[in-house]
Chain A
Amino acid sequence: MRIMFINNNGSGFADYIDVQEGLTVIDLFERQMPDCKPEDYLIRVNRQPVTRDTQLAEGDRVSITPTKIEGAGC
Chain B
Amino acid sequence: MSKQERRKAIIVFAVIAAVFLAASILTGGGSGKEETVQEVMRDAVLHDLNRVNLFGLEVNPGLLSGVIVSTGLIIFALICRIFVIPKFKMVPGRFQLVLETVVGLFSNMAKGNSKINGFLGAYIFAAGTYIFTGTLFELLGVQAVTVSGHSISLPAPLSDINGAIMMGCLSYLVIMSGGIAGNGVKGIGKTLKEYSLPISLSFRLFGALLSGALVTELVYYYSSLSYVLPVLVGVLFTLLHALIQAYVLTMLTSLFYGQVSDNTPKPPKEKRKKHKKQQTETAEKTIDTADAQTAA
Task: Answer yes or no: are A and B bound together in one complex.
Answer: no
Which positions in A face B, CB cutoff 8 Å?
none
Which positions in B face A, CB cutoff 8 Å?
none
